[in-house]
Structure 1
Amino acid sequence: MIDKLEMFIALANEGHFGRAAEVCGVTQPTLSSAIKQLEDHLGVQLVYRGSRFQGLTPEGQRVLDRARRIVGDARALREEMRSVRSGLAGNLRIGVIPTALSMVADLTTPFTKRHPNVRVTILSRTSAEILTGIERLDLDAGITYLDNEPLGRVTQVPLYSEFYRLLCAPGSELAGRDRVTWAELAGLPLCLLTSDMQNRRIVNLHLAEAGVMAAPSIESNSTITLLTHVMSGNWASVLPKKLADLFAQSGQLRAIPIVAPEAEHLVGLIAAHRDPPTPLIAALIDSARRMGGRKV
């Protein structure tokens, strides 16, 4: 039954029989047969069918919610029994917002030293994608903002407080300043993260509070792309302190504190709420608590 529920979850996630079969490592007829057997067992139609997948029925949506909990519990049980037999091992999939990628090693380095048989996969994701990935069981945990937008029912562990810097080339208009205000960013040629990134929504908020409309001439979902544009000398950007300081440490760029206000937002670890958590997540939460409380 668990394998059929996993195939049903994959179908709901992918919205396509062929892709779902590929995810599950089975043929498409095998997956279709498993879904039909699940429907027969439950006595309801789960999927609207035509020449292709046409969505879940209302009953299918209710079963999906329960299936995710059942499969999650089954995976947790397998993981717990494996840890009893051979110690903590397995693969952790962590989604990380792009602006926190420069900090993630502060969590994963001590974690993997304590648990050398655990393999960690780090994936760059937006805050919305992290929540969706945890719900869909595609991610085990995430590192995202805790205090800016609703997170729902997840376990949260604060990691650090994020502050903001103007990143610019040495010859830029404000490069000689020790600090700048949000209002003084008006009129600067900015390159910023795209609006699907929560960092960009935070930047927009603080600019708007200072009476400045964010109108960047360059947008990207890649911080490296922002860096290369700033290095050209034609643009400036707004980035978290840790990331901006990393880019500026060579002396080729300036990272200037932004004040009035000196905005602060909390970044932390999130995971699906389970009581108790799986052994892997429990160990990760322990590492996160050891790291927590920093200001960077």
Structure 2
Amino acid sequence: MSENRGLIFAYELDGHGGGRALDMDGVRAWRPGAGPLWVHLDYTGEDAVDWLDNHSGLDPLMVQALTAVETRPRSLVHRDGLLGILRGVNLNPGADPEDMVSIRFWLDADRIITLRHRRIMAIDDLRQAVAAGEGPARPGEFLSELADRLVGRVATVISELDDTTDELESEVVADQTTALRQNIADVRRVAIALRRYLAPQRDVMARLHTEKVDWLDETERLRLREVADRTTRFVEDLDAIRERASVTQEELNGRIAERMNRTMYILSIVAGIFLPLGLLTGLLGINVGGIPGTDNPWAFSIFCVLLVALAAVQVWVFRRKHWM
């Protein structure tokens, strides 16, 4: 079955970490008691929509929530099942990690239904683990594994962002170039974009381990609580990165302004020295009668010496007044 029809893959789990691959006909023929079903769908595909509407047995409101175009992280217990929407960093080729991809899922005692439109690396990891016989054996284990893998990839991105911030802080002290402004702005943009989804996802993770569903055992709840703690820590790290980037930006602006002020001060000193000299040369350069020294062959040399002496006096006065 091609991916654009909706079904990406499906497994009938054997309860020991492995599973038997199914096509869409196999998914439709599956019945509870045959082993937990994991079906992974592209929610924009025709077969996915048809199965969700007509064969999944899900409440229409749950189907609507799972296939919504715009989503934010959330969780909801409905009857004996759990609806969840989480976000993972976008590690697809050519994509920006902060453009986080949504993964939607419905879990109950017998089924795992996951939906996405763009590829999720954490789901690929779990698929490979099932194919190798080392995957989750039950829905509760699947949820804890998925949450852990999503957060693990976020950790990598935030660590790289933190390293970039450290480098920018060092470059501001050493280099102070205006080109750093764009790099600092990029760090702040990425941190803001990541926090936009991680902040509500932190709340979702904090609720998952307390949801009242029978198929989550104590070990899985403890693992979900650990994931929630890590997510909270990452949100705090993003806040710290934003603050550090803001401080770095202010430091850069201050240093650039200081350097510009120093340059303008030097130009002002030079202009102050040459202003009276220019006035004198301008007066003697007008082409009218009565200019003194026109008949004296030493007049130009004497005038140059006077200009140098005047400049020296100005420099002495500026130094006395601590202007230079």
Higher relative contact order (CA 8 A, sep 6+): 1
TM-score range for the pair, normalised by the shorter chain length: under 0.3
Q: Computing the radius of gyration over CA atoms, which structure comes out larger, 1 or 2?
A: 2
TM-score calculated relative to the size of structure 2: 0.26
* Structure with higher strand content: 1
* TM-score normalised to structure 1 length: 0.28
Structure with the larger helix share = 2
